[in-house]
């Protein structure tokens, strides 16, 4: 394909070089992505805008921990609210009321596109998404009409993987049909389970953050061409994988032009931005 259609990147990091990384991040960088020692770099606003412009990326969602709000993320959002919004993490699900008050405050003060949680990455992986500790968050997201993004698939670092089996989301989607729920970081090795759940539940989506598009399985690409034309959404997890690399690889997939446009832009625009991005 000679031209790359416009894109929305649903998961970018701007401040990874600004803090000491946790051990799991060191392990995933060195062992899983084979990128050697040291931190992932932080991003400069001008540099990131240039990369977005060069790749047709109209908007990027920047990750932020609500327990330690990033001044770098704030500066990006303040400077270019037309290009940046926030994906909000850092939930303390064992203390639900303070956690939900903090979430509501951030949603009122920031342009929050979604909030997110990784079942393998907190509580020593003891709590799958069916555990009642999540129910206050699910309820609040429904009340605020705030999309929720959850890690799915085996995590890269050495953490318990079972809590991120998409099968757990079956009961979540059943009990909370109003919840807009998206699986993050693919669903490996449970892609077929994730696909079956998306066929079953209308509000469930999947983003391919942290996956090089050339490694996406054929079963997912087939779903994108057929019953799942509006279900799969692009995300890079920059700088873990760059926007430039992931969009280039996406444009080289065996996808019809309309399916590629849905994947890179239309699906996210409709689901997260109501068609206004």
Tokens for 88, please give them. 């909000």
Does 100 have pLDDT greater than 90? Answer: yes
Does 169 have pLDDT greater than 80? Answer: yes
Would you say 239 and 25 are in contact if contact means Cβ atoms under 8 Å apart?
A: no
Residues 6 or more apart in contact with residue 107 via CB below 8 angstroms = 88, 115, 144, 146
> Which pLDDT score is estimated for 277?
72
**18-77 per-position pLDDT tens digit:** 776 666 666 665 666 666 556 678 999 999 999 999 999 999 999 999 999 999 999 999
CATH architecture of 7-273: Alpha-Beta Barrel (3.20)
> Which pLDDT score is estimated for 1?
41
Would you say 137 and 93 are in contact if contact means Cβ atoms under 8 Å apart?
A: yes
Does 2 have pLDDT greater than 70? Answer: no
Tokens for 7, please give them. 């894109």
* 223 vs 28: which has the higher pLDDT: 223
**Looking at residues 268-276, what average pLDDT do you find?**
94
> Which pLDDT score is estimated for 266?
98
Share of the chain above pLDDT 90, in %: 84
- Taking the domains of the chain in order of start, what are their residue ranges? 7-273
Does 200 have pLDDT greater than 60? Answer: yes
**Looking at residues 67-89, what average pLDDT do you find?**
96
Does 187 have pLDDT greater than 80? Answer: yes
Tokens for 139, please give them. 């309820």
Residue 111: name the closest of 260, 262, 277, 223 by CA.
277
**101-158 per-position pLDDT tens digit:** 999 999 999 999 999 999 999 888 999 999 999 999 999 999 999 999 999 999 988 8
> Which pLDDT score is estimated for 37?
54
């Amino acid at each position: 394909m000679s031209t790359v259609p416009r894109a929305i990147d649903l998961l970018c990091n701007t401040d990874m070089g600004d803090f000491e990384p946790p051990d799991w991040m060191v392990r995933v960088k060195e062992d899983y992505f084979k990128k050697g020692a040291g931190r992932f770099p932080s991003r400069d606003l001008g540099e990131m805008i240039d990369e977005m412009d060069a790749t047709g990326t109209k908007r990027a969602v920047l990750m932020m921990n609500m327990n330690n709000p990033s001044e770098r993320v704030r500066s990006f959002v303040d400077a270019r609210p037309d290009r940046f919004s926030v994906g909000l993490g850092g939930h303390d699900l064992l203390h639900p009321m303070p956690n939900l008050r903090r979430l509501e405050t951030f949603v009122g003060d920031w342009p929050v596109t979604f909030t997110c949680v990784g079942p393998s990455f907190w509580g020593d992986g003891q709590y799958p998404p069916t555990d009642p500790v999540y129910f206050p968050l699910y309820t609040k997201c429904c009340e605020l009409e705030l999309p929720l993004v959850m890690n799915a698939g085996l995590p890269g670092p050495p953490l318990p993987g079972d809590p991120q089996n998409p099968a757990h989301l079956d009961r979540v989607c059943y009990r909370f049909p109003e919840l807009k729920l998206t699986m993050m970081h693919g669903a490996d090795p449970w892609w077929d389970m994730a696909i079956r759940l998306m066929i079953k539940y209308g509000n469930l989506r999947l983003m391919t953050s942290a996956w090089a598009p050339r490694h996406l399985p054929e079963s997912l690409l087939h779903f994108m061409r057929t019953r799942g034309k509006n279900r799969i959404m692009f995300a890079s997890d920059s700088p873990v994988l760059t926007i430039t690399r992931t969009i280039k690889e996406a444009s080289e997939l065996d996808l019809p032009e309309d399916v590629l446009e849905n994947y890179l832009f239309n699906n996210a625009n409709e689901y997260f931005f109501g068609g206004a991005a």
